[in-house]
């Protein structure tokens, strides 16, 4: 059989071998063509998009890959392509690219050697480039180079313009929340006014409601801004913030909470005579931090509310009746029941001593030279002064004992004789005369209930309150005046 390609005469077996070889060559050639076509399709085309240079983790530019222009590249196209890429990076100052017969000339300035090397590799990997002459000058940036600053400011300005609608909405929501918060505080104040709550508690509850409305507005603003996680952190972290503030300002928080409880319980009112932490005085006001007292000496004392809340409070005004006592000693030769009767008569006739509860005169103890009697009596503390009434009662009991010839011996062991010791000279006849001055009889005590030195028996509460009114007192008063309630 004759082969059509070579014209040779072939037998049947040779013809089969030659056909098989040609089929194998044809198959290999088709596979090579398909492989070359797929590789060419994956290469980047010559579109007008300018690639943005990649950077490494440390901020330095990566080495650029191979850049292709067209299958048949021209010098002006190569130069334009490289120049566009260099301008896009903004790493180079006045970049200029010139291409002659495939040789690329790079000129311009840059701030570091890495950028210069990157430009050279970029030109070298561009399709159609034969050689690269890198004449880019490295000019380190000076201290007074404000270009980076201006770039940052420009970025901030562009970011502000992009966020301007969101800022407007946020301001509107915050303003609306503030108005709703004030309205909520107003409604809560009006609603709690009819309830039997203290002024401080009403104010705290009202402001707490307004604060919740403000927190709701802030949460809404954060959600609008897309800061959902931050919004949840703010809402969930308010308790933690309160705990931290409570630890940091423990004393302030403790005094404020104590003032809240004191205004709720109201163990005293304005103008009450109290004793707190061994300090006795009239209450001027209760502030959010301290309780202000005007002592009986006319001094203003501020006691921390935490101390007031934890201390024992003696309120002498809540029950105006007060009991006081004193001790008087009589001789062993005197009759105890008679002395008790004399003292009770003085108490019964005294205008400032109350008959109910009745006064008492009890035997207290047996001293070295006296029998000690304790005298108990009651008085109205709102009308009379305890110190003045006690002074008057002691003076009148002493006078009554002297008039009744009840001795009041001294408990001292050493006896002095201020008027001298009387001495009698005895004669043989047994008569004698007294030598030395005779003992003087003590002057009689005045029978008046109150002497001039005691200045009456009325209470000094009015005078001390007038001094407190004239004095400067810090803070807002959280108490109600007792005098104003009595007039109402």
* Strand partners of residue 435: 423
Q: Decide: 291 and 308 in contact? Cβ < 8 Å.
A: yes
The residue count of the chain comes to: 488
- Going by pLDDT thresholds of 50, 70 and 90, the confidence category of residue 32 is low
| Percent of the chain whose predicted confidence (pLDDT) is above 90 | 14
**What's the rounded Cα separation, in Å, for the pair 166 and 485?**
55
* Strand partners of residue 378: 323
Structure tokens at 123: 């030109």
- Write out pLDDT tens, residues 218-253: 878 877 777 666 666 655 555 556 666 666 667 777
- Going by pLDDT thresholds of 50, 70 and 90, the confidence category of residue 486 is very low
Residues 6+ apart with CB under 8 A from 246: 253
Instruction: Name the E strands within 111-191.
Output: 131-138
Cα-to-chain-centroid distance, residue 330:
64
131-138 and 103-110 beta bridge pairing:
parallel
Task: Tell me which DSSP letter residue 296 carries.
Answer: T
3-state secondary structure of 159: helix
Question: So what's the pLDDT on residue 328?
Answer: 93
Q: Is the pLDDT of residue 370 over 80?
A: yes
Q: Is the pLDDT of residue 450 over 80?
A: no
Query: Which element (helix H / strand E) includes 371?
Result: strand 371-380
Question: So what's the pLDDT on residue 375?
Answer: 95
Q: Is the pLDDT of residue 438 over 90?
A: no
Q: Once rounded to an integer, what is the mean pLDDT over residues 73-96?
A: 85
209-213 CB contacts, 8 Å cutoff, 24+ apart: 209/184, 209/185, 210/181, 210/182, 210/184, 210/185, 211/181, 213/177, 213/180, 213/181, 213/184
pTM (predicted TM-score): 0.48
- Write out pLDDT tens, residues 202-212: 777 788 888 88
Q: Which residue has the higher pLDDT, 322 or 1?
A: 322
**What's the rounded Cα separation, in Å, for the pair 219 and 222?**
5
**What's the rounded Cα separation, in Å, for the pair 115 and 141?**
13
Domains contained in the chain, CATH given:
43-142 (3.30.1340.30), 158-248 (1.10.287), 268-317+465-479 (2.30.30.60), 321-412 (3.30.70.100)
Instruction: Name the E strands within 447-487.
Output: none
**What's the rounded Cα separation, in Å, for the pair 90 and 51?**
13
Query: Which element (helix H / strand E) includes 348?
Result: helix 336-349
Question: So what's the pLDDT on residue 364?
Answer: 92
**What's the rounded Cα separation, in Å, for the pair 31 and 318?**
113
- Write out pLDDT tens, residues 272-316: 888 998 898 888 888 888 898 988 888 888 899 888 988 889 888
Rg, Å, the chain Cα set:
55
Indicate the range of 98-112, 122-136, 340-354, 446-460 predicted with least confidence. Answer: 446-460
CA torsion, ordered 158, 162, 167, 169, to nearest 10 deg: 160
- Write out pLDDT tens, residues 33-73: 444 444 444 444 444 444 445 554 445 555 555 655 555 56
**What's the rounded Cα separation, in Å, for the pair 470 and 454?**
26
**What's the rounded Cα separation, in Å, for the pair 471 and 463?**
12
How many helices, marked H, and strands, marked E, lie in the chain?
12, 13
């Amino acid at each position: 059989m004759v082969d059509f390609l070579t014209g040779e005469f072939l037998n049947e077996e040779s013809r089969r071998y030659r056909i098989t070889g040609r089929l194998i060559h044809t198959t290999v050639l088709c596979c090579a063509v398909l492989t070359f076509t797929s590789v060419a399709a994956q290469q980047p085309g010559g579109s007008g998009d300018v690639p943005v240079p990649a950077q490494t983790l440390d901020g330095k530019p990566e080495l650029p890959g191979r850049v292709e222009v067209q299958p048949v590249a021209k010098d002006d196209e190569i130069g334009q392509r490289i120049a566009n890429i260099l301008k896009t990076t903004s790493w180079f100052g006045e970049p200029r690219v010139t291409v002659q017969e495939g040789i690329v000339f790079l000129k311009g300035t840059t701030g570091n050697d890495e950028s210069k090397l990157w430009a050279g590799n970029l030109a070298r990997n561009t399709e159609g480039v034969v050689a690269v002459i890198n004449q880019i000058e490295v000019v380190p940036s000076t201290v007074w180079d404000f270009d980076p600053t201006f770039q940052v400011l420009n970025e901030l300005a562009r970011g502000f313009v992009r966020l301007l609608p969101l800022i407007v909405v946020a301001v509107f929501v915050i303003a609306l929340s503030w108005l709703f918060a004030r309205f909520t505080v107003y409604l809560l104040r009006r609603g709690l006014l009819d309830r039997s709550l203290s002024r401080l508690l009403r104010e705290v509850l009202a402001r707490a409601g307004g604060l919740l409305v403000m927190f709701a507005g802030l949460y809404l603003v954060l959600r609008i801004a897309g800061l959902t996680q931050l919004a949840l952190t703010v809402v969930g972290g308010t308790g933690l913030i309160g705990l931290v503030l409570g630890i940091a300002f423990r004393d302030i928080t403790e005094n404020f909470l104590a003032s809240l409880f004191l205004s709720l319980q109201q163990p005293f009112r304005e103008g009450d005579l109290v004793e707190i932490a061994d300090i006795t005085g009239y209450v001027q006001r209760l502030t959010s931090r301290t309780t202000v007292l005007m002592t009986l000496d006319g001094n203003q004392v501020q006691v921390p509310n935490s101390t007031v809340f934890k201390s024992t409070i003696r309120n002498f005004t809540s029950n105006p009746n007060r009991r006081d006592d004193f001790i008087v000693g009589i001789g062993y030769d005197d009759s105890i029941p008679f002395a008790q009767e004399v003292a009770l008569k003085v108490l019964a006739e005294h205008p400032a001593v109350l008959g109910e509860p009745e006064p008492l005169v009890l035997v207290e103890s047996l001293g070295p030279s006296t029998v000690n009697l304790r005298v108990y009596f009651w008085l109205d503390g709102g009308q009379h002064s305890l110190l003045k009434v006690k002074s008057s009662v002691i003076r009148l009991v002493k006078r009554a004992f002297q008039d009744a010839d009840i001795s009041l011996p001294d408990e001292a062991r050493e006896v002095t004789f201020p008027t001298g010791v009387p001495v009698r000279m005895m004669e043989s006849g047994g008569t004698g005369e007294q030598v030395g001055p005779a003992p003087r009889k003590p002057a009689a005590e005045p029978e008046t209930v109150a002497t001039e030195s005691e200045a009456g028996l009325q209470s000094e509460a009015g005078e001390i309150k007038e001094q407190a009114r004239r004095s400067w007192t810090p803070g807002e008063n959280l108490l109600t005046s007792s005098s104003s309630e009595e007039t109402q």
